[in-house]
Structure 1
Amino acid sequence: MILLTGFEPFGGDSSNSSWGAVLEAQEILRGEGHTVEVLELPCVFGESAAVLREAMGKLQPELTICVGLAGGRDRLSLERVAINCDDARIPDNAGNRPIDEPVVPEGPAAYFSTLPVKSALRALQIAGIRAEVSQTAGTYVCNHVFYALMHELGGADTPRARGGFIHVPHDETRLPQGSTVPGMATRDMGRGIAVVVRTALGTTVDAKLSAGAVH
């Protein structure tokens, strides 16, 4: 069982490309015979994590990948680390704006993704899909969900349970004409997520290749 999640629109936008990308990935992966469930999370601190935990408890997925929008990025970002910090620059969809608050009180400072991010990066590059390993998932609801996911998996009874987070660009078809904001076709985002899923299912030891950042 594979669980993929995206987000509802936020920040005044009418859509969220993460949800469209997840639906595309579901279609691709189901066509290959995989059992895939998708879930649209609310862009709300606390509630988003609770909805995710409930779904994980019900479905018991062996692989969970959460997906969110990173406006301004031009490629898929395979997030390496989630930090135990909510620090909202803008309010969430319920008007909450936590500042310097932990995602999980008394939780560890950070969790690393258990996805094979380096192997996935290489597979995405071979597939011709723009991608990177990202060192920060921000401090908004995306990071909140990423941390909650990894915290939940940290207490999982089964060592097969793996998870992580991917940021995607804007859907290029929904950007205003003449916009300089980077985007990507939803189909390509879905293809990319499917590549990451296949890589995670087939990789036990991550590749050793450089994908770090100087700053």
Structure 2
Amino acid sequence: MEPEKKAVVVTGFGPFGEHAVNSSWVAVQELEKMGLGEGVDLHVYEVPVEYQTVQRLIPALWKKHCPELVVHVGVSGMATTVTLEKCGHNVGYRGLDNCLFCPGSHCCVDGGPECIDSIIDMDAVCERVTASGLDVAVTISKDAGRYLCDFTYYTSLYQSRGRSAFVHVPPLGKPYSGEQLGRALQAIIEEMLDILEQMGEKINGRHEH
């Protein structure tokens, strides 16, 4: 019998503001072309920049695919590196989305913890990817920006008990191409899966769902 394939869900965002082409979705489409190897079923989704859609969509993706890992990718106009976000924040959402909507409570989950960390050691991922000689700089951040990126990350971390990741990418050509960003995502996600597998083996070799 062939070992079961692991499901991995990767999302990018649609256009918003000055980002008529969102580099996060371009990068995710490049990743989809390359794939994550034989053992992984990769599912990609373009997420509209809308709070209410995110609140509906993220739990639905977890339910549909029961993924090993969900990685959300977003663009940051200020980023010049590929940035691994360590945590998502619950409160402080005041920016209007593409529907000119903003959560009345300014938070993701009423009564949820202020901050949720990913269970993945982002420092380790960063070190490993950097050591692999990738032509893209990778850095770490603890602030995903209190807009839809952060909102999506928190929603996903809350849903998955920390089994999610968020990667910020710079706009296209500043300085990387879509293909370079796709390759960087591939390297990053492979390391994340490797780390999750090692963690699973430590916890008695079985994944409890």
Distance (Å, rounded) in 2 between the aligned partners of 1:198 and 1:30: 7
Aligned residue identity for 1:85: V
Deviations 1:143-200 (A, max 9, x none): 000000000012xxxxxx821101000011xxxxxxxxx3321111111111111111
- For 1:141, the equivalent position in structure 2 comes to 148
Aligned-partner residue type, residue 155 of structure 2:
A
Give RMSD over aligned pairs.
1.8
CA contact 2:94–2:106 (8 Å) conserved in 1: no
- Which letter does structure 2 place at the counterpart of 1:141? L
Give the equivalent residue in structure 2 for 1:57.
Answer: 63
Q: Tell me the CA shift for residue 13 of structure 1.
A: 2.8
- In 2, distance between residues paired with 1:191 and 1:49? 29
Conservation of the 8 A alpha-carbon contact between 1:49 and 1:149: no
C-alpha separation in 2, matches of 1:81 and 1:75:
18
Q: TM-score, normalised by structure 2?
A: 0.84
Aligned length: 189
Deviation at 1:140, TM superposition (A): 0.4
Query: What is the alpha-carbon distance in structure 1 between the residues aligned to residue 37 and residue 68 of structure 2?
Result: 19
Aligned residue number for residue 46 of structure 2: 40
1:8 matched to 2:9? The reply is: no
1:208 aligned partner: none
Paired with 1:35 and 1:47, the residues of 2 have a C-alpha distance of: 24
Q: Could you tell me the TM-score, scaled by structure 1's length?
A: 0.82
Tell me whether 1:25 sits opposite 2:17 in the alignment. no
Distance in 2, Cα, partners of 1:49 & 1:167: 20
Gaps of 5+ in 1: 155-160, 173-181, 206-215
- Which piece of structure 1 moves more, 103-112 or 44-53? 44-53
Percentage of identical aligned residues: 26
- Cα shift readout 1:59-85 (whole Å, capped 9, x = no counterpart): 111111000011121011100111101
After TM superposition, which residue ranges in structure 1, 4 or more long, deviate above 3 angstroms? 30-33, 97-100
Task: Give the match for residue 163 of structure 1.
Answer: 164
- 1:198 partnered with 2:190: yes
